[in-house]
Amino acid sequence: MNVLLFGSTGMVGQGVLRECLADPGVERVTAVVRSPSGRTHPKLREVVHRDLADAGSLERDLAGHDACFFCLGVSSAGMSEADYRRVTFDLTLGVARILARVAPGSTFVYVSGAGTDSTAKGSSMWARVKGETENALLALPLRAVMFRPAAIQPGPGITSRTRGYRLFYAVMRPVLPVLKALFPRWVTTTERVGRAMLAVARSPGSPRILESADIDALGADPSGPASLG
């Protein structure tokens, strides 16, 4: 399997990249980055592309992949709806539409979030925009799957690039394992998110929307959709 990865330097993307590189069934990972990460691996190829608003020039690089794991995203804190929509909706759909054209048989896994508003009409700005993004992806001639994680426990050595998230995880790191034990439906790990994405890419019968508990269960036993039963 050849995997295309966006957001490989973010917290979720780092975990997904780690699982892809460790998986013997993954032959190649193409990570689209804004600047070189400095990471090297026999399976890894980085494509430097500084402006995803101009995704059209990536067409040749997007072809030939079996799955695209789209882990790119920003916090809505302090952003206007127009700016948040530009990053969340426009950039995501720009990539997905090209992929639908050059690799229509591929799987597109989009990291959304718990509480996403599928009606795209609610009062929460981020949930409304995420819902609109999900709906547009699901309407494409592409096998799109939505991941809606809640709290994610980062694996060893994995950190967020967002300062607020780094502070949050620095405070919560000792608590997250306890929360996972108490509220397993709402806490997963970067390792399980990565494994669940690979399982979904290999299982055409998987659901189109996976909530936090579904992701965690599939990542714990990545044998296919039966893990969600």
Q: List, in order of start, the domains of the chain with CATH numbers.
A: 2-224 (3.40.50.720)
Please say whether the beta carbons of 207 and 33 come within 8 A. Answer: no
First to last CA, the chain: 25
What percent of the chain has a predicted confidence (pLDDT) above 70? Answer: 89
pLDDT, position 174: 73
Model confidence at 68, pLDDT cuts 50, 70, 90, reads very high
Cα 140 to Cα 101: distance, rounded to the nearest angstrom? 10
Please say whether the beta carbons of 71 and 5 come within 8 A. Answer: yes
Alpha helices by DSSP H, the chain = 11-22, 59-62, 81-85, 91-102, 125-138, 163-172, 176-182, 190-202, 212-220
Cα 96 to Cα 70: distance, rounded to the nearest angstrom? 9
Residue with token string 């700016």: 83
pLDDT, position 165: 59
pTM, to two decimals = 0.90
Select the highest-mean-pLDDT range: 45-59, 172-186, 189-203: 189-203
Mean pLDDT of 46-54: 92
Buried b (16+ CB within 10 A) or exposed e, 74-92: eebeebeeeebbebbbebb
pLDDT, position 155: 86
Q: What is residue 75's three-state secondary structure?
A: coil
Q: Which two three-digit tokens encode residue 109?
A: 């896994």
Mean pLDDT of 187-194: 94
Q: What is residue 84's three-state secondary structure?
A: helix
Alpha carbon distances (Å) from 77 to 23, 124, 131, 162, 186: 35, 12, 17, 11, 22
β-strand partners of 28: 2
